Amino acid sequence: MGLSNAISGGIVMFGITYVLFTFAGLTDNIASFSDVSSEISNMENKLVKTSIDVTIVNPPGTDATFSFEIINTNLEKFWEFDKFDVIITYDNNGITYTQTMIYDSTCPPVAGQWCIKTWTNDVLDPGILNEGETISIDVEVDNNLQINRDLIVVVSTPNGIIASATTTV
């Protein structure tokens, strides 16, 4: 009788241990799923709080260099400007060009680059684009702009929010 109790106790302990290890793996998966859900929620929250406006204030001439402004119209702050996508579409001699510009931290830019020329209302967090603040951008494309043709500026933030502006040269 004592041996059968010991064997049955061992079987029960083995079963309990097996169940615990099985649930431990399941618990790890649940925790991992919870982390992913939290990251998705944080990203959605950032998207809701992100909004920018792009304006071409002064009509550009036919030079390869021109300016435009980016205004932060919502709560999300921006400081990683090298992660912005700036795409310019323009015409030169009847050919349409589309260029993806590269951020340069110093102005004036060279061909294929953009830089921050000036900050407006940069009171809170200098060097960070907060809500209500404006940056003036200088851009230099590879070719001169053609008169009486459209110039299209598209800006995408690091989290994927897109704004654009169009003007006639």
Delimit the domains of the chain by residue range: 1-48, 52-168
Is it the case that residue 30 has pLDDT exceeding 80? no
pLDDT band for position 82 (50/70/90)? very high
The per-residue pLDDT for range 107-132, each reduced to its tens digit, is 999 999 999 999 998 888 899 999 99
24-38, 55-69, 117-131, range with the lowest pLDDT:
24-38
Of 140 and 23, the structure prediction assigns the larger pLDDT to 140
Distances (CA, A) of 138 to 101, 135, 146, 151: 11, 10, 18, 14
pLDDT: which is higher, 19 or 104? 104
Mean pLDDT taken over the chain = 87
The pLDDT of 129-137, averaged and rounded, is 95
The CA–CA distances, whole Å, from 140 to 113, 114, 115 equal 6, 7, 9
Once rounded to an integer, what is the mean pLDDT over residues 41-50? 68
pLDDT given for residue 53 in this prediction = 95
3-state DSSP assignment of residue 94: coil
Q: Quick check: 23 pLDDT over 70?
A: no
pLDDT band at 27 (very low <50, low <70, confident <90, very high): low
Nearest to 85 by CA among 136, 152, 167, 158: 158
Is 80 exceeded by the pLDDT of residue 41? Answer: no
- Percentage with pLDDT > 90 across the chain: 58
Q: What is the mean pLDDT of residues 139-168?
A: 95
Q: Topology of domain 52-168, per CATH? A: Immunoglobulin-like (2.60.40)
Under 8 Å between Cβ of 134 and 123:
no
- Enter the pTM of the model: 0.73
Mean pLDDT of 29-45: 68
Contacts of 125 (CB under 8 A, 6+ apart): 77
Strand extents, DSSP E, 20-109? 52-55, 65-72, 85-92, 95-103
Cα 121 to Cα 125: distance, rounded to the nearest angstrom: 11
Residue 44 confidence (pLDDT) above 80: no
Decide: 139 and 65 in contact? Cβ < 8 Å.
yes
Beta-ladder partners of 155: 86, 163
